[in-house]
Amino acid sequence: MLNLSNLIKQYEGVRAVDDVSFSVEQGDVFGFLGPNGAGKTTTIRMIMGIIQQDSGTIELNGKNINLIGRNNLGYLPEDRGLYQKQKLEETIIYFGILRGLSKLDAKTKTNEWLERFGIGDQGNRKIEELSKGNQQKIQFILSLIHDPSLLILDEPFTGLDPINQLLLKEIIQEKREEGKTILFSTHQMEQVERLCTNICLINQGKIIVEGSLENVKKSHSSDSVDVRFTGELNIEKAKSFFSEMAIKGSSISGVLSCEPRDFLTWMNESVIVQSFQIHVPSLEQIFIEEVKKSS
Amino acid sequence: MNQIWNIVKWEFMNRVKSKLFLITTFLLPFFMGGMMYLPTLLMDIEPEETTEIGLVFEDDILDLTERFQTQMSSIHKLKDGNPQFIFNRFQSNEIALDSVLSKSIDGFLFIPSTVMDTGEVEYFSFSLSNIKIYTQIRRVLNQGVIEQRMIEQNIDMSMVGQLSRRISFDTFKIDEDGETSEGNELASFIIPYLFLMILFMTVFMSGQILLRSVMEERTSRTIEILLSSVTPDELMRGKILGLGALGLTQMCFYLIVGLIATEYKELATIDFSLIPLFLIYFVTGYLFYAAIFAAMGTFFTSEQEAQQSSGVISIIAVLPMIFASYFITNPESAFTIGATYIPPLTPFMMIIRIGTKSVEMTEIIISTVLMIVSCWVMLKLSGKIFRTAILLYGKKATVQEVYRWIRD
């Protein structure tokens, strides 16, 4: 479990990270979201020990993260790159060794992962000769070759084709099942909806939304509905259920002023309801709305 | 510590295996050797073509000119044994000039009758770049004029040759124990110069590699991945040590080649007692400049910028090389000794002076301590800049920011 409490980092008097606290459970994929420049990378860098916070604590499984050894952490940065002139196998082995593996282990695991990603035959090629997508795979391998208990993935899907995205998702699921703690940062909201159970949205260094994806969505769902029906409807009566409403032939859309259930019950009594849809906002809509509100 | 060692191994092994490194390391000594020996080699080649020289003089110095011509043809010969110079007499400068213009002669010599008093002679030619031709003419004519003067003083012709013969001037080198050995002017110049070149090249080659390597990690963003496993300090130390080991390897190679070459050419004997001193000045010199280059690597975003500013740095370090002949010939002057204690120059100056064998043990100790302190300060400052700037890839740091990092 990863635990951040009251994290603060200032740059030249500006708080890049302003009193950020959240927890990520083991076996969870946690969506860490925010617009550009919100303080995500700064927060991640503090977790990784690349920079030090001004105040606040970061704990992994109950221990100060600076004391448990960085070999327990895996990081795929958003701003990433590799030695272009080196052979990819040698490069992965080197990073494996830097992350605490023995040379032999690093070698075995490198080959395993290259095989898994379908580039097992390219170990002797230079990195600059690889496609962008394949370079991306190498960087992904680097973040988990040492089997860390905390895995931080910043935009892991960019540049990958759908098949490789699927493979990556599969591996992330696998790591979740192994009980790893995974922090997932991205701007692709549909990926978050598919992968994460809990999320946190930060803007201008502050947390603005936090909680389980389900609760976040629930709390943002308005009572806006779309209904299609057949039969004679008492329009005046119907209007009394809505705060605003538009009727067009045999379909109504609008925002309810009562519980959706009450309206549906009345509708069922008076007409035949063909479809009844409550609008649940997409995470993208919530993101845009919340960020605009807090800026 | 372990991480530093991992980085050292990676940096060293990667570069030492690279083709560029192998090529430059192996070819450079040959190139340098070529630069040194080729000109003298070319000078020694006997000419294949005759040179036609016009002579303009009055009959009253016929004696002189005849002896001059005889001596020229007996001293300077072509490969096939025929005389190198052919002389034609002209009645006046104008006629000789016409012949030069029509390229029927290579040049002409105007010897006025007053030559015995004034010693003034004039030589005209299209090209004066062939120093060899007119030094040969001058030398023989000079000897001729001196002899002619003696003859005019009624000195016996048979005595003249004997009286005007040259002295033989042998040089001997005295070492600390008072032992003398036959000296060689060329050797006493070449050895310090060679030492200086080797030190300069290895320090700067490794320094430049360091600069590029830091820059590459930053611009390619490999740094972010690296720093999730190692601290900036570990990275900086590992890189400096790894590339230092590379420079050291290269230096040892050059040193061995250089010493074998000088030994072979009988310019000097290999003096193994100098090797520890070489190590001291390589290590301290390298660390001093590595600190600068490592910090610089965190600043620049383009190869071009880095190249230019490392050029500026090397101008400072190249000063001892520019003034090398002065320092070598005046190893004890105040200027030489003063320059020895300016830290960026110290290793280079000491190497020159060790080559001339003009340093005392106390100077070696003082300069070593000075360099250790300077390196410590430079590495400290550089570390502060490196730690902060390594993660700033977008923007370039301002002078104020750098000052703040150093102060903090």
Instruction: Please give the full DSSP string across B25-46, using - where no structure is assigned.
Output: HHHHHHHHHHHHHHHHHHHHSP
Nearest to A5 by CA among A51, A45, A43: A43
Identity of the residue numbered A72: N
User: What are the backbone dihedrals phi and psi of residue A208, each rounded to the nearest 5 degrees, phi first?
Assistant: -110, -25
Q: Which residues of chain A make contact with B20, given a CB cutoff of 8 A? A: none
**DSSP label at A30?**
E
Q: How far apart are CA B317 and CA A267, in angstroms?
A: 91
Name residues whose C-beta falls within 8 Å of residue A87's C-beta, 6 or more positions apart in sequence. A123, A124, A125, A126, A127
How far away is chain B from the Cα of A245, in angstroms, using its nearest Cα? 51
Q: How far apart are CA B207 and CA B211, in angstroms?
A: 6
Fold of B50-163: D-Maltodextrin-Binding Protein; domain 2 (3.40.190)
How far away is chain B from the Cα of A198, in angstroms, using its nearest Cα? 25
Q: A150: part of which helix (H) or strand (E)?
A: strand A150-154
User: What are the backbone dihedrals phi and psi of residue B147, each rounded to the nearest 5 degrees, phi first?
Assistant: -60, -40
| pLDDT score, position B268 | 60
How many contacts, defined by CB atoms under 8 Å, are there between A and B? Answer: 58
Strand, helix or coil for residue A248: strand
Whether residues B229 and A98 touch (CB distance < 8 A) is answered with: yes
Under 8 Å between Cβ of B63 and B80: no
In tens digits, what is the pLDDT along chain A, a chain of 295 residues? Answer: 899 999 999 887 888 999 999 999 999 999 999 998 889 999 999 999 888 899 999 999 889 988 888 889 999 998 888 888 889 999 999 999 999 999 999 999 999 999 999 998 988 999 999 988 899 899 999 999 999 999 999 999 988 899 999 999 999 999 999 999 999 999 988 889 889 999 999 999 999 999 998 888 888 877 788 899 988 888 888 888 888 888 888 888 888 888 888 888 998 888 899 998 888 888 888 888 888 888 7
Nearest to A290 by CA among A211, A194, A195: A211
| pLDDT score, position B42 | 65
Whether residues A77 and B226 touch (CB distance < 8 A) is answered with: no
pLDDT tens for each residue of A65-94: 888 888 899 999 988 888 888 899 999 999
pLDDT tens for each residue of A255-270: 888 888 888 899 888 8
Whether residues B220 and A95 touch (CB distance < 8 A) is answered with: no
Q: B351-390 burial, b for 16+ CB within 10 Å, e for fewer?
A: bbbbbbbbbeeebbeebbebbeebbeebbebbbbbbbbbb
| pLDDT score, position B43 | 62
Q: Which residue's entry shows tokens 């496609």?
A: A131
Q: Which residues of chain B make contact with A70, given a CB cutoff of 8 A? A: 228-229
Q: Which residues of chain A make contact with B14, given a CB cutoff of 8 A? A: 86
The answer to which of A109-118, A200-209, B39-48, B386-395 has the lowest mean pLDDT is B39-48
Of all residues in chain A, the one with the smallest CA distance to B1 is A98
Under 8 Å between Cβ of B254 and B202: yes
Of all residues in chain A, the one with the smallest CA distance to B4 is A98
Name residues whose C-beta falls within 8 Å of residue B32's C-beta, 6 or more positions apart in sequence. B197
The two counts, helices (H) then strands (E), for chain B are 17, 6
Q: Which residues of chain B make contact with A97, given a CB cutoff of 8 A? A: 6
**Annotated domain spans of chain B:** 2-32+184-407, 50-163
Under 8 Å between Cβ of B29 and B252: no
Name residues whose C-beta falls within 8 Å of residue A16's C-beta, 6 or more positions apart in sequence. A9, A10, A39, A42, A205
How far away is chain A from the Cα of B20, in angstroms, using its nearest Cα? 13
Q: Does pTM surpass 0.90? A: no
Q: In the structure, what pLDDT confidence band is assigned to residue B186 with cuts at 50, 70 and 90? A: low
The answer to which of A238-247, B80-89, B137-146, B169-178 has the lowest mean pLDDT is B169-178
| pLDDT score, position A174 | 94
How far away is chain B from the Cα of A281, in angstroms, using its nearest Cα? 36
Whether residues A82 and B222 touch (CB distance < 8 A) is answered with: yes
Under 8 Å between Cβ of B238 and B11: yes
How far away is chain B from the Cα of A173, in angstroms, using its nearest Cα? 23
Task: Indicate whether B221 pLDDT > 70.
Answer: yes
Identity of the residue numbered B237: R
Of all residues in chain B, the one with the smallest CA distance to A87 is B14
Closest CB to A70: pick one of B10, B225, B228: B228
Nearest to B198 by CA among B262, B131, B120: B262
Q: How far apart are CA A227 and CA B43, in angstroms?
A: 104
Establish whether this prediction's ipTM goes over 0.90.
no
Question: How far is CA B234 from each of CA B11, B241, B323, B392, rounded to the nearest angstrom?
Answer: 13, 10, 38, 18
